[in-house]
């Protein structure tokens, strides 16, 4: 005879699931006995997206390679920040939140997606760019940019 149990799981979480079973039997004409078994499964996380951040100056150079200003008039340089979203998992994902933080200033990047919120494993990466931002190269500041992207499978 068989016993079946269904457990709801979140395959995107990358959890390990272990089931232990204990069976006890008391036959009418014999000694009691028992058996145990354990089954462990760790499904590969099916949900994974990555975001790459690029920054270029007005000449198309990586921001870190922008030459030092030669005169005070050259201090302000427009930097363009772009974000490339790639689905590296095995299921389509709906982007629910896409927020950029630069030195404590945040911006919602969802509007830059122009209505494209679903990204599937076989899709080309989605690239969105912010408007160029004037950066004072003479100020001696460090600019830190990070992104938090949240996405769920289409059915939750």
At CA 137, angle to CA 65 and CA 79, rounded to 5?
65
Residue 45 has pLDDT above 70, yes or no: no
Please state the rounded mean pLDDT for residues 27-45. Answer: 82
Whole-number percent of the chain with pLDDT over 70:
92
| pLDDT given at position 19 | 85
Residue 1 has pLDDT above 70, yes or no: no
pTM of the model: 0.72
Tokens standing for residue 50: 């990555």
User: 3-class SS at 111?
Assistant: helix
For the chain, what's the residue count? 156
């Amino acid at each position: 005879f068989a016993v079946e149990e269904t457990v709801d799981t979140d395959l995107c979480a990358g959890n390990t699931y272990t089931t232990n079973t204990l069976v006890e039997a008391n036959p009418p004409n014999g000694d009691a006995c028992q058996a145990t078994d354990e089954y462990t499964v760790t499904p590969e996380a099916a949900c994974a997206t990555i975001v790459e951040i690029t920054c270029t100056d007005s000449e198309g150079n990586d921001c870190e390679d922008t030459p030092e200003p030669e005169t005070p008039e050259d201090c302000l340089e427009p930097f363009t920040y772009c974000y490339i979203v790639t689905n590296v998992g095995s299921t389509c994902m709906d982007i629910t939140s896409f927020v950029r933080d630069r030195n404590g200033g945040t911006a919602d990047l969802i509007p830059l997606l122009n209505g494209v919120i679903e990204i599937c494993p076989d899709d080309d990466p989605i690239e969105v760019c912010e408007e160029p931002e004037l950066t004072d190269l003479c100020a001696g500041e460090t600019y830190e940019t990070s992104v938090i992207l949240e996405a769920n499978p289409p059915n939750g």
